[in-house]
Amino acid sequence: MIAGAIAYLMTVTNRSSMGVASLLAAEKFEAAATSLSTLAVAQLVVYAAMQIPVGILLDRFGSRVMLVFGTAVMTAGQLLVSLAETLGLAVAGRMLVGLGDAFVFISVIRLVNGWYVGARATRVQQLITNTGQLGQAVSAIPFAFFLAEYGWNTSFMALTGLSFAVIFISAFFIINDRDPAPSNQPTNSIRLVTRQLFENIRHPGVRMAFWTHFVLQSAPSVFSLLWGYPFLVGGQGIPPAIASLLLSSFVIIGFVVGPLISAFCTKFPRRRSFLVLSTVAALAMVWLLVILVPGKAPTWLLLLLCLVLAVSGPMSMIAMDYTRSFIDKSRLGTATGFVNIGGFVATFSMMFLAGIILDLVKAASDAEGTNAALYSMDGFRAAMSVQFLVLGLGGLMFLLERRKARAKLFLDEGILLRPLRVALIDRLRDKTR
């Protein structure tokens, strides 16, 4: 499990490295906001598109093979980024990073469920995901320092070297299950796991998990992977060092709230939706305050924003807890892959729309002769409003699927039928008297 946590930590470092490099990338490649967003969007599109294929392969081949292959592809992608002198080459490299990234997270989740069950699986999953999120701190502080001191090529080459080392850690130390299946047991066919995928998607509990991830994982990802650093530095005038510290605080907050979330989910599994809906409401309220405040937001409000976003990340792992509650371990790869698509579809959609809006606001400013900066607060005020679309859609769909999931659970357990049976028996007794 330690090897899996290291692999995930390195993956998050690679994934979030473009967040603190976004301003340097805009300068290096002379890119507008829309073009710059393609660095992150192309990576996440590939990541999301590969979730179901990777889930199918995961149920067939297991976590170890997937982690080794994914880390190797990610290493190749970071090497390409480190050598890139044009935006197109950097985008190609980030697409390889997204491809490799697609293999890692759901493989680690499957690894947890191969070693642990029940409440312990919930706690270990939260611990490993929090450990992996240390990668955000690595990219926000030491990697940002390397970028400032040694430049693009050397910094990304350093990440390439670290990723290369993780390939060997995954190959030599990861074991798929605590109790491996007998060697004579046949491996699931692609046809079988594909059929299992569609069975999973038809389950309302899995769809509920999808919308949980959609609505909770996207907001912190948009902030940490691309637009948070420009928003804080360019829009709010925060010094770069403080902005890096705020982004890295997501990890510390995650380590504090993660165990609390897992403890709550373990003790009150039927109240998990309360946490989901409360977090959605908090995200909507804090972003509304930041957007409506005239001028730059006060420091306390920015701290509150970072706190709510940091909490939303660990909360999104409730989606994986839902999945484990409804789906057998043998089918978790495809189910987790489908659920994981949710957050990243919302993420890259918001990233790209925000980039378009920033460019439109800049063009309107130039046309009026005010010549505002590309990363102005007015631009971000409009660009960050796209989150309300995701929060509204995700929250509504979560409620609809929760109602269907509860109805299915009640029917499966006979809870709804039991009062009807009692009423019929009582009526028959009255007639026989």
Q: Is the pLDDT of residue 77 over 90?
A: yes
pLDDT digits (tens, 9 = 90+) for 7-44: 888 988 988 888 778 778 888 888 777 777 788 788 88
Task: Write the pLDDT tens digit of every residue in 386-426.
Answer: 999 999 999 999 999 988 888 776 666 554 444 444 444 45
CA distance 135 to 108: 15
316-325 average pLDDT score: 86
pLDDT tens-place string over residues 137-158: 888 788 888 888 888 899 999 9
Contact 109, 324 (CB under 8 A): no
Query: What is the total count of domains within the chain?
Result: 1
The DSSP result for 397-416, as a single string, is HHHHHHHHHHHHHHHHHTTT
Q: How far apart are CA 233 and CA 244, in angstroms?
A: 10
pLDDT, average across residues 333-344? 82
Token duo for residue 194: 């594909």
Rounded to an integer, the average pLDDT of 299-306 is 94
Whether residue 197 lies inside any domain: the answer is yes
CB 81 within 8 A of CB 15: no
Whether 218 maps to a domain, the answer reads: yes
Q: Is residue 142 a part of any domain in this protein?
A: yes
Q: Are the CB atoms for 312 and 283 separated by under 8 Å?
A: yes
CATH number at residue 171: 1.20.1250.20
pLDDT band at 55; cut points 50, 70, 90: confident
Task: Find tokens 């603190």 and name the residue.
Answer: 20
The verdict on residue 228 lying in a domain is: yes
Rounded to whole angstroms, how far apart are CA atoms 354 and 364? 15
183 within domain boundaries: no
Helix ranges restricted to H, 316-376? 318-326, 332-368
Q: What percent of the chain has pLDDT over 90?
A: 25
- For 393, the token pair is 């859609």
Q: Which two tokens stand for residue 40?
A: 């992150």
Residue type, 120: R
Q: Is residue 384 part of a domain?
A: yes
Is residue 153 a part of any domain in this protein?
yes
Position 429 scores a pLDDT of 45
> In this structure, is residue 169 part of a structural domain?
yes
Average pLDDT over residues 305-313: 93
At residue 70, the pLDDT reads 92
Q: What are 160-190's pLDDT values in tens digits?
A: 999 999 999 888 888 877 665 544 444 556 6
DSSP string, 204-238: HHHHHHHHHHHHHHHHHHHIIIIIHHHIIIIIT--
**253, pLDDT greater than 60:** yes
pTM of the model: 0.73
Euclidean distance between CA atoms 166 and 216, whole angstroms: 29
Domain span at residue 362 reads 2-176+192-413
Residues 6 or more apart whose Cβ sits within 8 Å of residue 123: 259, 262, 263, 266
Q: What is the mean pLDDT of residues 229-258?
A: 86
